[in-house]
Chain A
């Protein structure tokens, strides 16, 4: 019912090519997150699925139907907009009931479904208020309520949390996760925030400039990023990249050397390299450890103490920046010399150079 398949999808607005040959398979009941920087085409892709924009070329299936030419209402999708898009002149009850009113369901049926949704979203006492009397988080719940009562085969969320403050974002995120666990409906969720993507998704689609960079489970992408972009996008602080030169390729590893590090052996994860080839070594800030004999030497620029973690911004010898996240509370004064080492088996090597 709610499986979705995008094959060779392209979208152009006049001369601008916004979505470029996108292929995604989303399974029934899956929570799929489209993530990427602002302007990469996430919303456009979601709107193509909703039917709010025409597909320029390619095939879009929902369930076993090709829906390219179906109206939004015929696609049985519900959408929660970034701006909530709840009707300002209607009460919460009328807003939630909107889709049912439109389809002229009976009063009793509408009442039953609205109270059920209100109970699920814990907003029974808000039903007779108007949107102007609600906080941002409550409005968001109204928008979700309006989607839920329709019992759609797919939920589409376009950055639903981006207008909420940090605390509310976290709790609403957990509510959405709970909602998915309860309804088990296919959900597609668009965000530019990698934390939301990592915490909510069964499957993440990373997009850049209208192209799919990688698709996979959150930990898959985190531990095995296919390219520099995905490696840098997921995880906070971002992965450190250092320019290196390939010396030799072994059975499971490549040996690289760099100005700032000595000879290091790094797993090649199926990629092949030629000796002498310039490459990029990636190491997550969490895998750096203070080590007086370590190869990475520099001075502290800024250090942020978060209690359980200390994030250090380091200036390496040639001015390259390095971020380290130490799993303990340490006091580092700016200007102090530091040295870090790391386990080569936790590093990545990419043929690309940034």
Chain B
């Protein structure tokens, strides 16, 4: 047995104080805080480097240069990574990159997180990680609405354009248009322009004047206003045309996208006929806010609540504890709110645990943290209300538009199912196979819910969260190789 094997063996039999699922701002901050307070932590992330989507980095040893320019608050990121690495060296933190969670169990002793080590293609290895508590910090992914041609190569999620840039130093096109809604579109556009891409337009579906209703929430966070002004200046400097109440309603091309049609939207988010305009592009990035990844929380039975953006999110108390004992949640899983809020919530979760087990320094004053959380939450609520999915979006679908990309279910088929009585996403799924493919409805689920209900889900009746963890389709081989001591 090598030293590494021995350590792995010991770990399989001991429970860490805290399992952290997700190495983005929330998970990193929680892990660093908890370990610095003396708790043993297992930090799991499916990526090849710490940081999650927000601080997405190339893996260690990568050689592309200059991706740092795409990042905000790099100092905070570096200091967190340094802290984690320091604790990883002493064994207090067990860092598991390239590990995908596929199931989770809870009993009176704690949590068992079943993950697959997928660092090498074809060499999947199943691993069971044990902890007394679990922090769900699994983040979110771009929310999508279908449109004719959205399945053409060259049409990406806004997040994909960002991920290619930050993680791989790759610009997805030379003439790129960015569309959808929300402040996230701005850094995507500016990042592309900084990389030398001609950004032919940012099309924001909502009217920025919607923010005026939330003047107080904005005024409480001058930093956000400065950030906004910086982006505005950068857009101007790069001469990027910004169009509000406008969006992409179709993509055209044969083997790949060659052009898009954009159109104006009225105050209620309905397409204004006659305003369509064709723009030549070789790539498009679209995003309609984000969907939190709740599979771990859902399979553990955590209570969910509705959020203003129509998402279901995990309900947490003042210490980020969910309704299930021993299970905490922080960051986007508790409501889309951005990296700063995620980090603060991760901090609160860890401080709460340290107090609970008595190794905290209750002298640490959390008042300022709580005040900052309150301000950030008010701001993110304003953001979710100012950037809704346009109510009239289904108007830009035609009969043949693909709704479910995995199972290739067209709009016509979904409409027939709704006409024959299917009134929610689940019923449409049973009739048409939407959401039954590889992605399990992560991409089309929200759109199908809209189409089935005939309206956009809201805070009172959010779209149901995806329940099944398919993040790691497991090969039987990996299960067979599961060492016996790691099986129940």
A and B part of one assembly: no
Chain B residues packing against A (C-beta within 8 Å):
none
